[in-house]
Amino acid sequence: MRFELKSLADPETNRIGTVILSVLGNGVVLVICFRRRRKIVGSELLCVNLAVVDFLCCICFYPLSILSSFSHVWLGSHATCVYYGLGCFIFGLCGMFTIAAISVIRYIKTCYATWLEGANIHLVCVATWITAAVWSSFPLFGWGEYVPEPYGISCTVAWRRYHTSMTDAVYVICSFSCFVLVPVLLIVVSQCKILLKIYRFSRTLSTKGIHINLRRAEKHLSVVRHSKWKKACIVKEYSTAYNK
C-alpha cells in the first residue's frame, strides 16, 4: 500500500497526468470552438489562441521531458535540446502575451466600454506569435543559449550564465524584465483596475438605492400623515356637529 502511494506521488506520474489533463481539456476547448467557429466573437479568439499554445506545447515538447525524467538525464542530443528550449520558450512567451492581452482588453471593455473588432484581435494574435518567435530565436544566433536545466530533464535559456557572459546577461535581463515582468504587471494592474471599477459602480448603485428607498419612505410617510390629518379633520367636524 505504501509503495502504491509513493508511486502515485512520483514526479514522472505527475507530469504524465498533467499532460493528459492538459491535452484533454484544451482539446475539448478547441473542438467546441471549431464547431461554433462562425459564432466566435473577437475576444474569444485570444482564448482559442491560448488553448492552441497549451495543446501544441503538450503534444510537441512535453513528451521529451517526460522520457528524460524517467532516466533523470536529458536523453536527446544538443539539437533536440535546442528544439525543446526554443519551442517551449516560444509557446511560453506567446501564452504570457496572450494572457496579458486578455487582461488589457477586458480592462478596456470594463472601464471604457470599448470593444475591439475582430481584425484587431487577429492582429494581436499575430503580434504575440511574431514577437515570441523573434525573441526566442536570438539564442540561435549567439545572443543567449539553450542548455539543459540543472536537473537534466528539460532544456531552457541559460539563465545562470548571466554572471559569466555579458551578452547572456543582457539577454536574460531583457527576457525577464520585458517579457515576464511587464506582462505580469499589465495583468495585475488591469485586474486591479477592473475590481476598482466594479467596486465603485456597485457602491454608486447602493448609494442610489439608499436614496431611492429614502424617497419612497418619505412619500409613504407623507401619505400616511395626510390620511391621518384627513381622518382627524373628519372626526373633528363630526364632533363639532354633534355638540351643536
pLDDT in tens, the chain (244 residues): 332 333 434 666 777 877 888 889 888 989 988 888 788 877 788 989 999 999 999 899 988 888 888 877 888 788 999 999 999 999 999 999 999 999 999 888 888 877 777 788 889 999 999 999 999 999 999 888 898 887 778 888 888 776 777 888 888 889 888 888 999 999 999 999 988 988 887 777 666 655 565 566 555 545 444 454 444 444 444 444 444 5
Does residue 97 contact residue 132 with C-beta atoms inside 8 Å?
Answer: yes
pLDDT at site 216: 63
Which domains are seen in the chain, by residue range?
2-208 (1.20.1070.10)
What's residue 226's pLDDT? 46
User: 146-148 and 155-157: which strand pairing?
Assistant: antiparallel
Spatial contact of 84 and 76, defined as CB atoms under 8 Å apart: yes
Q: What is the DSSP string of 198-225?
A: HHHHHHHHHHHHHHHHHHHHHHHHHHHH
pLDDT of residue 37: 79
Nearest Cα to Cα of residue 138 among 119, 121, 152, 157: 157
C-alpha cell at 158: 541559460
